[in-house]
Structure 1
Amino acid sequence: MIRRLSGIGGGARTARPSPTGFDRRLIAPMLFGSVLNPVNSSMIAVALVPIGVAFGAPPAETVWLVSALYLATAVGQPVVGRLVDMYGPRRLYLIGTGLVGIAGLLGALAPSLGALIGARVLLGFGTSAAYPAAMQLTRSEAERTGRDSPAGVLTALAMANQVVAVIGPTLGGLLIGLGGWRAVFTVNVPLSVACLVLGTRRLPRTPGRPTGRGNGVDLPGMALFAVMLVSLMVFLTGLRLDRWYLPVLSAVAAVGFAVRELRVPNPFVDLRVLGGNRPLIVTYVRQLLAYTTSYAFMYGFTQWLEEGRGLHAATAGLVLLSLSATGLAVSAVTGRREAVRSKLVVGSLLQMAGCAALLLVGSGTPMWSLVLVGAVMGVPQGLLGLAVQNALYRQAEPARTASAAGLLRTFGYLGALAASAAAAAFFPHRADTSGMHELALFMLAGSALLLASALPDRSLDTLVPQGKA
């Protein structure tokens, strides 16, 4: 057993015992912190329609409640991952989870859609710390214990994120039924308090690295990255020929960003993590494709249930319980087997099947059919997240684990941004059935690309030691 070291007030440890297993005191703060982003990403799906009604805003405007969070996390996640690598996980975890509580209060009191979007931006920055912190803690514990395959811990992280993501619409629907859409934001306050208490008491203190010249935050890189994403999102959420300059600006910013990040010693997004690591690059692309389809279904299908099918937000959330049930079951059954390639292949095939089924839905589709569609789409959510996370753990350079994990999350957020842009394009005024069918074709194409990337890739079979795949 690992001896627990006590500190002042039950605080963080300053020394590590000679280990025999993973320090289980770390698991609770890791899990609570890592679910802050998916719970806020998924609960908002059922709140978009009520918020639009409250502020008189169409889907093309309320979609910024989704995009704002992901733009903030896409910018925040890489830099926080870098800071975790430099200064250790504890202080970044506490700062980030504290911001989540503040953002929850601001969102609950927001007097306008613009103020609500601002709260979502702050929320995005706040949720950027916990996942790279958790991955760094996992790596350090693996090195401390000498156990190179922390599959159980990685599975717990993936399952917590997947379960929360898929039950989020149901939870959001119940909260809206009890206290209106503002309750979706208020729930962040107790979650933030729980993370702060657990983080203060259980996360280890680590000495910070010296902050000499060249070790600061890469502000020009952050600015170029933000310009690249924001200009592209503004263009995609309102496609018009007179906005031709926006994709041009995005492309110029992208080139400038790549040139700078490869030249500065401490970049905002550490592109050197990729450094000729083609398998890792492909893993990031797979994350982008998987999340694009996953979030397009979550946001698009949920809005269609409320507007195209005429269900109340609480009922729409209950329909998606099947998504939660199958995602949880698949994660629990397959979690301890890394089997990256087979999970990617089976997951993408089932994702294609679910997208094809969406082409058949209409305003008169019976409820059991809608529940069945959710159940089918839950299976790939249970498989793909585990596969990509395990692939990254094996492919990334150990010293850059948190940076690589932060970049993985960034690609997931880019997928969510693509999904929100697609929803805005296919639902310009309301989430009707024809728009749902167009969105389904978009998701089907992305799932086919994911399958094409995994099916012939035999290198995935060699990611784990013999006998563990």
Structure 2
Amino acid sequence: MSARSRWLMLAVGLGILLNPLNSSMIAVAIARMQHVFGLEYTTVSWLIFSFYIASAIAQPVMGKMSDLFGRRKIFLAGLVISFFASLLAPFSPHFGCLIASRVVQSIGTSMMMAVGMALVRYHITEKQATALSVLSIFLSGAAAIGPFAGGVLLKWWDWPAIFMVNLPFVAVSFLLAWRMIPKDAPAASGAGHSSIRSWLTMIDALGILLFTVSLVALLSGLLSVSSSGHVSLRNGMAVVIGLAALGAFIRHELRSASPFIPLRAFRQYPAMSLVNVQFMLVNFLFYSLFFGIPSYLQIVRHVSELQTGILMLTLGASSLIASPLAGKWVDRAGPKPAMAVSAILMMIGSAWLVVLKESSPVIHVCLALAAYGIGNGLNAVGMQAALFKSSPKEMIGVASGLFNTSRYLGTILSSLLTGIMMGGTFSFAGFQLLGALLALVALALVIMSLRFSVSEQLERGSF
């Protein structure tokens, strides 16, 4: 690989790591934010919701926009947006402005995520598989070290540091990207020849609007009911609006020629649909634990942010160790066994949360973290292989988009569940109830994995 290719890969890697880094650092900052702003747990949870909702919308849209404006322009614009969002967030006069900064930050980092892999595939022709695997390390490594980095920053500085830490990454990535990413071909700059109406139709602006309204309204209404303990006219109307928008969204997507989320694919390809459902459940389980454990350690057990970050390293380290081993296993035995074992490990980890006591040594949470980490490492490879196996070749682009949508829906549902379970205050009883529900979901995932694994073997005549 040439020196220029290595520098280009570094530029892209430093850019794309910002999305998983910022989505994971916040896990250890939730308790601190709740104290600083004097808010209920459900309200502070919008720091998580807003980032994932914006990412779920921005990444597929920015992928389409890169066809109009060019990948280099989208990548550089994402860096600029991320820089100013991270710079201004610490000066937010109130919580609403901080949420707005998180949304803008999510859009900026999603712009880089949407085109980062494509830049490497297009401009690095030698040892391309190695380059893509290195970028995967940037992504998984950032997610793994995020809670630890957040804990260190909160220990030695304060919550503004989790935004300011982005600035050197952005600055270095921008300088390298400006020099190393080749200019976009003239054909990519044909956005000016398209009317605003055709551009909005291409990205399915109406579908995006309905999707956003349905998610925000439903989350607002359900969390308000959980926090207040009763159904008021205001939160009841929010739920009704959310359901109406969701129904309109489904109807629109089924009729649209260029849908934001191609729902018709679920009906046409049931095997691919099953993989997406399983992937959504996996992310629902993983992120419920990912955001639940730090709050439990800090609010219930009064563990410091730094110690919480150190304990959370168990999750990331286990996942990173399991991923390469899973690759060899999946190549030899197919994705189903790895997916089944992953579900079993997540069920064990969830059950362990239920048997924890308030007096249990905090190191005991490492068992649940390790079980989930290994399970996540198995799934990272197994689910991707299952997707490719179940998706027709001509649908692989659409399938990848649906796959990422399933990931974000799982994360959003996990935050919703945690907020509903805890209400205004994170409690030990609520944490145990969360573990019990996660164990039930993991059990359902085990049954799904084993059932379809056996069915696959019967179809092949192996029994």
TM-score range, shorter chain: 0.7 to 0.9
2:293 to 297, 301, 305: 301
Provide, for residues 427-467 of structure 1, a one-character-per-residue CA deviation record: whole Å limited to 9, x for no partner.
Answer: 223222101111112222222233233223349989xxxxx
Distance 1:237 1:292 in 2: 17
Q: Which residue of 1 aligns with 2:188?
A: 208
- Contact kept, 8 Å, 2:144 with 2:315, in 1: the verdict is yes
Q: Which residue of 2 aligns with 1:465?
A: none
- Contact kept, 8 Å, 1:101 with 1:191, in 2: the verdict is no
Amino acid in the other structure paired with 2:166: N
Distance 1:95 1:275 in 2: 37
Tell me by how many angstroms 1:44 deviates: 0.6
Distance 1:125 1:360 in 2: 40
The residue correspondences of 1:16-165 to structure 2 (distance < 5 A) are 27-84=9-66, 88-137=70-119, 155-165=133-143
1:236 to 202, 222, 227: 222
| Match status 1:350 vs 2:370 | no
Q: 1:255 to 1:29 in 2, by over 3 A?
A: farther
The percent identity for this pair of structures is: 28
Residue 424 of structure 2 aligns to a residue in which SS? coil
Pairs aligned (count) = 440
Q: 1:156 to 1:237 in 2, by over 3 A?
A: farther
Tell me by how many angstroms 1:177 deviates: 0.8
Residue 29 of structure 2 aligns to a residue in which SS? helix
Distance 2:104 2:295 in 1: 24
Q: Please, what is the CA RMSD of the aligned residues?
A: 3.0
Residue 451 of structure 2 aligns to a residue in which SS? coil
Distance 2:135 2:454 in 1: 25
- Mark the runs of 5 or more structure 2 residues left unpaired by the alignment: 458-463
Report which stretch shifted further, 353-362 or 427-436: 427-436
- Contact kept, 8 Å, 2:253 with 2:263, in 1: the verdict is yes
Tell me by how many angstroms 1:49 deviates: 0.9
The residue correspondences of 1:379-390 to structure 2 (distance < 5 A) are 379-390=374-385
Q: 1:376 to 1:151 in 2, by over 3 A?
A: farther
1:322 to 292, 314, 326: 314
Tell me by how many angstroms 1:300 deviates: 0.9
Structure with greater helix percent: 2
Amino acid in the other structure paired with 1:266: S
1:431 to 423, 426, 434: 426
Q: 1:373 to 1:138 in 2, by over 3 A?
A: same
Report which stretch shifted further, 202-211 or 177-186: 202-211
| Match status 1:167 vs 2:145 | yes
Provide, for residues 85-141 of structure 1, a one-character-per-residue CA deviation record: whole Å limited to 9, x for no partner.
Answer: 555533222222322222111212222211111111111211222333244356658
Amino acid in the other structure paired with 1:323: L
Distance 1:282 1:202 in 2: 41
- Contact kept, 8 Å, 1:139 with 1:398, in 2: the verdict is no
TM-score by length of 2: 0.85
Amino acid in the other structure paired with 2:188: G
Distance 1:460 1:164 in 2: 37
Residue 423 of structure 2 aligns to a residue in which SS? coil
Provide, for residues 317-339 of structure 1, a one-character-per-residue CA deviation record: whole Å limited to 9, x for no partner.
Answer: 11112112211111233345554
Tell me by how many angstroms 1:273 deviates: 5.7
Higher RCO (CA-CA < 8 Å; seq separation 6+):
1
Tell me by how many angstroms 1:418 deviates: 1.0
Distance 2:385 2:138 in 1: 15
Q: 1:88 to 1:398 in 2, by over 3 A?
A: farther
Distance 2:148 2:373 in 1: 14
Tell me by how many angstroms 1:303 deviates: 0.2
TM-score by length of 1: 0.84
Q: 1:258 to 1:138 in 2, by over 3 A?
A: farther
- Mark the runs of 5 or more structure 1 residues left unpaired by the alignment: 5-9, 11-22, 463-469
- Contact kept, 8 Å, 2:75 with 2:116, in 1: the verdict is no
| Match status 1:252 vs 2:213 | no
Amino acid in the other structure paired with 1:306: Q
Distance 1:33 1:249 in 2: 37
Provide, for residues 329-371 of structure 1, a one-character-per-residue CA deviation record: whole Å limited to 9, x for no partner.
Answer: 1123334555422221111110111000001122211133122
